Amino acid sequence: GVHFFSCIRARVLALPSPPAPRAAPIRGTRPPQARRSGSCSRSTGGSILCGEFRHFFWTGGDQGYRDMASLMSQSADDLRELADTVHGTYEWIVSYDKLAAFFSPAFLKTSYEGRMMNIGCGTSQLSSDLASSGYRHIVSVDIDEKQIEAMKERYGEREGMTWVVADMTDARDTFEDGSFEIVVDKATFDALICNDEASHLFTEVHRILSEGGVYILISFRPRPLMEKLLDVPGMFTSVEVHEIPRDCAAPVAPLRPSAAPEEGYGSHGHVYVLRR
């Protein structure tokens, strides 16, 4: 959702942004950890993933990192303005009705009692839709304090929904290992894929998931690229891929307006189901 804009501001455009206050620890206290400074995750999986990113984006794969960065800069002013002016809710890629089947307990092999995290929630209605479907323990996380405050104001003290400001590329001082059964990611991985931050997010998701937990990643990136990046030895036991129609347009000009639909930038997105 709108988390995409804060990623562009803070990470790609390097716009000044005040540090977010630390959230209250969830399920236990973690001592503050030093932030990683641009290096890949220390885990084997994270190192492999970073290598794959660099191969694709610095050697020309997926049109090359430099082309992507150039196109991003062309939309910089639009993104900067939109990030501060979007009000209400905003959906990225696809609306909930196209996703509902993927969140049923029968499909996920879990229950409505399972603890669920929605990463990069922005101002999407996804968390509310999931709560309405029956899930009773949903933690919605975003790095942007303004988005979290807006959602707290919108949904108040709705039972079963918690809103937390956190950076999910390194949340060891906020969330304990194995503390969630389900992690939902609607385009946050997409937003971080243009640099090494996506590898940090990927390894953090793996860390906070319990054994048997599931990571649901909703993406509009090309399927061949995503399958390559997500197939990391020693991380997840399986990766399922499901095609979905894309019914929500981007708020600014597409990063690759000339891309053909078969490349994955057109009328369809994908749901990746990774089981730990």
Classify 146 as helix, strand or coil: helix
Q: Structure tokens of 2?
A: 């709108």
Residue 180 contacts residue 139 (beta carbons within 8 Å): yes
From the list 244, 135, 129, the residue with the least C-alpha distance to 187 is: 244
Q: What is the pLDDT of residues 120-141, one digit of tens each?
A: 998 899 999 999 999 999 999 9
* Residue pointed to by tokens 């243009």: 194
DSSP 237: S
Rounded CA Rg of the chain: 17
Which pLDDT score is estimated for 42? 42
Q: Which residue stretches of the chain have pLDDT < 70?
A: 1-90, 92-93, 195-196, 248-266
Q: Structure tokens of 98?
A: 């196209």
Classify 9 as helix, strand or coil: helix
From the list 155, 111, 120, the residue with the least C-alpha distance to 140 is: 120
> Taking the model in full, what pTM does it have?
0.70
Residues 120, 83: Cα–Cα separation, whole Å:
14
Secondary element (H or E) of residue 219 = strand 209-219
Classify 200 as helix, strand or coil: helix
Which pLDDT score is estimated for 1? 42
- What does each C-alpha distance from 55 to 63, 76, 127, 233 come to in angstroms? 12, 26, 35, 17
Instruction: Write out 246-257 in H/E/C secondary structure.
Output: CCCCCCCCCCCC
Residues 167, 201: Cα–Cα separation, whole Å:
9
Helix orientation angle between 76-85 and 65-74, rounded to the nearest 10 degrees: 60
Is residue 107 left, alpha or beta, with left meaning phi > 0 and alpha meaning psi from -120 to 50?
Answer: alpha
CA angle 185–189–190, rounded 5-degree value: 115
H-type alpha helices, 181-221: 188-192, 197-208
